[in-house]
Amino acid sequence: MERRQLVIIGSGPAGLTAAIYGRRSGLDTLILEGGLCGGQINNTAEIANYPGIKTTSGIDLAGAMREHASDFGAELRECTVESLCLGGDDKIVRTDKGDISADAVIIATGSTYNKAGFKGEDDFAGRGVAYCAVCDGPMYQDESVAVIGGGNTAVEEADYLTEFASKVYIVHRREALRANSIAIERAKANPKIEMLLGWVPDEITGGDSVRGLRLHSLKDGQAKEIAVEGVFVFVGTKPNTGFLKDGSVQVSDRGWIKTDDMMETSAEGVFAAGDVRDKFLRQVATAVGDGATAAMAAYDYISNQHYLKSALFEPDRAVALLISSIDSDHLALARETDGWASSGGTPVVVIDGHHNLRIREKLGVRELPSLVEMRGGVKAREAKPSSIEDIKSFCGSNE
């Protein structure tokens, strides 16, 4: 089976950034891309809120990121990820082109906007049809736009769009909005917003760009067209996590992957970055930050695993002292232990059990500080030390 240090699933901004940071850290890095490199930013005609670049297209930014990752030596491979197997220390990524064993995995598969399904939605994507108000709203200064949807996102984004647009229509198929009362009242109080409730979008009109939106009423079948230059669709998004079918990582009730501040998921050595995460804001800039954090956390994880394997699990006998790095008494005991070992005592592997919860779970250690003796990679015994004398006694020394 092919073996790699770091496998990144997804080649959007988060995945490509993770690849850059992974390679700069010296990791053997493989990116698995299942579609067009860059992900959803390829559908954005203009990006004007990425720091340091006043304006660029999504395609150009994606191409530059891909080239950057490739120049650092990251390998990119087109394939479809079918599943992720996390039964042992190795992570097995199953693809349509073979299985890959990885020391660490970063899931950066992004999300997909739900489409409303009216005629012209796909044809005008990037030319007047948008799915992100923060990304594309400033392009519609003093113009009219329509917002499709009636939930919190649609109503709140409609209000946000009035910062730029002269007129915002909220088009919703039901007679009542589904958003919370605060968002609804705020929208009703905004003079730039007109609500078209009980109406359904049928077709976009225009040539090179959007010029209008045809609607019909569900109540009486009446048809009309509103003049708009942009149509924003907010009927939900979904994470691209279809390959996680076995509940291998913890997700929210809507399917977004949960992580800690280090981007690590509930599965050891598996990280998530970008839009696939359960997070507040999904933008290129936040995806890039996630990718950098995930890669450095993966590097730290892999380095620690290699050290612990060689120092604790491979020797015939090894002794470990697990402490809490935020406890001054524990730190003092660790210094004494290092000093004793350096002067000829038994070597002791000192582990920060406060930050390394995974190794504590693996060793079955509940309280800190704790001494653990390993025999042939298996825990043989455990004790709770309170002084250097306890450690000497545990190690079988009279020094």
Which of 28, 89, 123, 136 is labelled catalytic?
136
Q: Are 25 and 8 in contact (CB under 8 A)?
A: no
Q: Are 331 and 339 in contact (CB under 8 A)?
A: no
Helical (H) or strand (E) element with 334 = helix 328-342
**Residue 58 CB contacts under 8 Å (≥ 6 apart), including other chains:** 38, 40, 41, 42, 43, 44, 45, 47, 126
Which of 135, 275, 352, 395 is labelled catalytic?
135
**Residue 78 CB contacts under 8 Å (≥ 6 apart), including other chains:** 33, 34
258 secondary structure, DSSP code: P
Q: Which three-class secondary structure state does DSSP give residue 129?
A: strand
Give the residue from 284, 305, 296, 288 showing the smallest Cα distance to 24: 296
Give the separation between CA 100 and CA 7, rounded to whole angstroms. 8
Helical (H) or strand (E) element with 308 = helix 284-308
Q: Are 351 and 323 in contact (CB under 8 A)?
A: yes
Which of 37, 103, 132, 352 is labelled catalytic?
132
Query: Strand order in 349-352's β-sheet?
Result: 349-352, 317-323, 370-375, 378-383
Residue 395 annotated to the active site: no
Structural tokens at position 219: 């109540």
Q: Go through the chain and tell me how many residues it has.
A: 399
Residue 37 annotated to the active site: no
Q: Are 114 and 238 in contact (CB under 8 A)?
A: yes
Strand partners, 199: 217
Strand partners, 4: 102
Structural tokens at position 218: 């569900």
**Residues carrying an active site annotation:** 132, 135-136
